[in-house]
Amino acid sequence: VRRSFATSAALQKDINHMTVFGAGLMGAGIVQVAAQNGIKVVMTDVSDKALENGKKIITKSLTRIARKAHPEDEAAQKSLIDKVFENISTSTSPDEAVKSSDLVLEAIVENIKVKQELFSKLDKSAPKDAIFASNTSSLSITDIAQSTEPSRQWIGWHWFNPPPQMKLVEIIKTEKTSEETYRALADLSKRMKKTAVSCKDTPGFIVNRLLVPYMLEAVRMVERGEASAEDVDVAMKLGAGYPMGPFELSDFVGLDTLSHISRGWRDSRVETGEISAEAVKESPLLEQLVKENKLGRKTGEGFRKYD
Ligand code: CAA
Ligand code: NAD
C-alpha cells in the first residue's frame, strides 16, 4: 500500500493493486469496473472453468459498452476491450494472487464458514497492511473478520448487480475500521465512478435490509395463491416503478444467494431481534428451485426460463 499526502494533510492510502476472490456475477463485474478505471486487478477463483466463466461475463458486458462507444468500428471496439483486459490477470492460487495486493475483496459464496476459511489463509500470505473487504449481501463484517489477526484492517464494500450498471456501493465500517481505511475505500469508489453511502455493520446494510424481505414476501404471496408471479412482477414494475419485478430480480440476483441470505438471517439474526421470524420464514418454493439447481439467470432457469 502506497501512502501519499493528498489534498488534505491527512495520510491517505492509495489502492492500485486489487485482488478479487470469486469470478461469478459480482466478482467478474467488480473486476471489470476496476480494470475499466485503470486499477490492476487479479481475478481469482477455484478453477480455470470458473475463471473462464468470469472472463465470459466481462467480455459480454464490455462488448455492449464497446458497441455503444464505437458503433460500426470493430477495430476500435476490440481495442477498448483489449485495453481493459490488460489490467486483469487471473489466478487459481490464493497465496500467489494476494502477494502484492493493496486490497483483497471477496465475492464468493454467501456462507460465513467458507468466507472465514478463505480469509484465515489469506491473512498469512497477504501483505500485513493490505485491507481485507467483503462484498457480502447479509453477513456481519465483524463476524467475518474474526478469522484474521486483530491487527488486520477490515471494511465492508457492498456492490450491486450488475456492477457495471448500478451506480451505488455501500461502505461498512466496523468498530475497528480506521479513518484511513474508510477514506481509501471512499476514494477508490469515486475512482470507479460509484456513489458511496455508508452504513453500520447491520444485517443487509441499507439496500438488502429493505429489498430482501420484500423479495421473500413476494414468493410467499405466490405460495399462498394470492397472485401469479407474472402478475406480481407486472404490478411492481407498472404500479411502483421498479425496473424489475421481485421474481425477475430474484432470478437476476441468484436463488441460491437469496436462500443463503434468508437461512443466515434465520440462524443468527432472529434470536437477536434484528430480523423478524416472519420476514425470513423458509419458503418451500424457493428451496425446491435451489434443490433442482434452478438458480435463476445464471443457470438458465429459476422462477422463469432463459435462453
Ligand atoms: N454491462 C454493460 N452494459 C449493460 C449491462 C451490463 N451488465 N446491463 C445493461 N447494460 C446497458 C445496456 O447496454 C443499455 O444501454 P443503452 O441504454 O445505452 O442502450 C442499458 O444498460 C440498459 O439496459 P437494457 O435496456 O438491457 O435493460 P434495462 O434498461 O432493463 O436495464 C438493468 C438493465 C440496469 C439491470 C435494470 O433492469 C435494473 O436496474 N434492474 C434492477 C437491478 C437491481 O435492482 N439490482 C440490485 C439487486 S440487489 C443486489 O445486487 C444486492 C445483493 O446483495 C443481492
Ligand atoms: P456466484 O455464484 O455468481 O459466484 C461465486 C463465485 O465464487 C463462483 O465462481 C465460485 O466458484 C467462487 N468461489 C466459491 N468459493 C470460492 C473460494 N473459496 N475461492 C475463490 N472463489 C470461490 O455468486 P455472486 O452472485 O457473484 O455472489 C458472490 C457474493 O456477492 C456473495 O457473498 C453474495 O451474497 C454477494 N452479492 C451478490 C449479489 C447478487 O446480486 N448476486 C449482489 C451483491 C452481493
Instruction: Output the pLDDT for position 14.
Output: 87
Quote the mean pLDDT of the chain: 95
Torsion angle (degrees, nearest 10) of CA 117, 140, 297, 83:
-70
Distance CA 219, CA 58 (A): 31
Q: What are phi and psi of 63, to 5 degrees?
A: -65, -40
Residue 86: active-site member? no
- pLDDT tens for residues 80-93? 999 999 999 999 99
Residue 158: active-site member? yes
Question: Of 105, 109, 194, which is best to mutate to test ligand 2, by the most ligand atoms within 8 angstroms of its C-beta?
Answer: 109
In degrees, to the nearest 5, what angle opens at C-alpha 2 toward C-alphas 104 and 96?
A: 40
- pLDDT tens for residues 86-131? 999 999 999 999 999 999 999 999 999 999 999 999 999 999 999 9
Q: What ipTM does the predicted assembly reach? A: 0.96
pLDDT at 261 over 60: yes
Distance CA 221, CA 228 (A): 8
Q: Which of 61, 170, 260, 262 is catalytic?
A: 170
Q: Which of 138, 140, 208, 262 is catalytic?
A: 208
Q: Closest ligand to 25 CA?
A: 2
Distance CA 129, CA 96 (A): 16
Question: Of 165, 233, 256, 259, which is best to mutate to test ligand 1, by the most ligand atoms within 8 angstroms of its C-beta?
Answer: 165
| Ligand 2 centroid from CA 228, angstroms | 30
Q: What are phi and psi of 193, to 5 degrees?
A: 60, 35
**Spatial contact of 57 and 80, defined as CB atoms under 8 Å apart:** no
Distance CA 228, CA 219 (A): 10
In the chain, % of residues over pLDDT 70? 96
> All 3 cell numbers of residue 151?
491487527
pLDDT at 1 over 70: no
Q: Closest ligand to 68 CA?
A: 1
> All 3 cell numbers of residue 268?
443468527
